[in-house]
Amino acid sequence: MKLAFVVAVVLMVIITIAVVVVPLLRRGRQQGRPRSIFVVALLVIVAVPLITLGLYLKIGTPATLAGVAVQPPAMNIDQALADLRAHLVQQPDDLRGWLLLAQTTSAMHQPSDARDAYDHVLKLDAGNSDAMVGWAEADAMLQPDHVMGERAHALLKQAVEKQPDNQRGLWLLGISQFQQNQFAEAATTWRHLQPMLQPGSTVANAVAEQIKAADLHAGDAPAEASSTDSAKSTNDSHQGPALQVKVQLDPALKTHLGKGDTLFIYARAPSGPPMPLAVARMDAGMLPVSVTLTDAMAMAPQLKLSSVSKVFVGARVSHSGQAIAQPGDLEGNAGVVAVDATQPIHITIDKVH
């Protein structure tokens, strides 16, 4: 029994004796009935603590007498994640736990933690399609220009081969193919995705737009398309922002330029979805160069230059041919500019990554 409860009972007895019992005894002596009054006083002294205990046991919280702690407040998401991570330290082979951590951190826009968790899932289950797609998406979000690398591309291909109806996998694989200038392959991938989507939905319309863009870049517009549709697609590609970008190489870095190096010129949102809004790829040996970035160079129809008011414009020379920055790559940028800028944007590639 808690010490505090015992003290409370003792205090109640003392107060009862002082307030009730003593006056009763005094009155009993005055009236010549000390014995009977003493019996009543004794009953009061005994009854008060017994009645108190009985009421407490009936309507109070008896469990606290045995030292049961008060229940803590509801756990928040940060505490839940901390507990999950602690569990995974103790149980590193818990596949479901790692997948839960990956999906949760991905939803909370923590791509680094999500990629690490998906990596653990793939170590435990190399054929997990959800982890393949999740890893590729998280990795792309971590890249400076948000372009999917070789492993991401390979995982996406493996995921859709294993699970042909994986809609997110098909969408991302098409984007990866588009980024690698595999326009015909991208169109084919997205056409495979099309029948799985609700006709007329926002997603279905977006995929249809991407297919048109891929066909346009591949120079392989469907033969059945009418001349009106073809003209509309061509006109659409020239509408919206048109950023003129002029890129040159700092003479001090000329010796760092190798044969076969690839030049990427891109524009991305200063903050927001991790994907270039427009990107051009060419032989770095052509430097200095001038390009015009437009909506037609978007990776996804809902993520294009006209969807934002400002963009970060940069350029990178890749020795590996991959858009993902590697040590030794050459870089430069013009910072953040307005998408409706009409003056040429100048970039000097003057840094080594």
Q: Which helix (H) or strand (E) holds 202?
A: helix 202-218
**What average pLDDT does the chain have?**
77
pLDDT band with cut points at 50, 70 and 90 for residue 225: very low
- Top pLDDT among 40 and 160 is at 160
Task: Please compute the mean of the pLDDT values over residues 40-57 and round it to a whole number.
Answer: 57
pLDDT band with cut points at 50, 70 and 90 for residue 220: very low
Domain boundaries, the chain: 3-66, 119-235, 242-352
Q: Residue-wise over 306-319: b if at least 16 C-beta within 10 A, else e?
A: ebbebbbbbbbbbb
Predicted pLDDT at 89 = 92
Predicted pLDDT at 124 = 94
pLDDT one-digit tens code per residue, 74-113: 557 778 888 888 999 999 999 999 999 998 888 887 888 9
Q: Following CA atoms 65, 69, 74, 76 in sequence, which dihedral angle do they give, to the nearest 10 degrees?
A: 170
- Given CA atoms 313, 173, 240, 205 in this order, what sign does their dihedral have? negative
Predicted pLDDT at 145 = 61
Predicted pLDDT at 211 = 85
The yes/no answer on whether domain 119-235 falls in CATH 2.30.38.10 is: no
- Top pLDDT among 302 and 196 is at 196
State the Cα–Cα distance between residues 216 and 208, nearest whole angstrom. 12
Per residue, the 3-state secondary structure of 227-258, as one string, reads HHHHHHHHHHHCCCCEEEEEEEECHHHHHHCC
pLDDT one-digit tens code per residue, 121-150: 999 999 999 999 999 999 888 876 667 888
Lowest mean pLDDT among 17-26, 145-154, 181-190, 282-291: 17-26
Structural tokens at position 266? 């891109």
Q: Which helix (H) or strand (E) holds 45?
A: helix 34-59
Q: What predicted TM-score, i.e. pTM, was given to this entire model?
A: 0.48
Does the pLDDT value for residue 317 go beyond 50? yes
Task: Please compute the mean of the pLDDT values over residues 325-330 and round it to a whole number.
Answer: 84
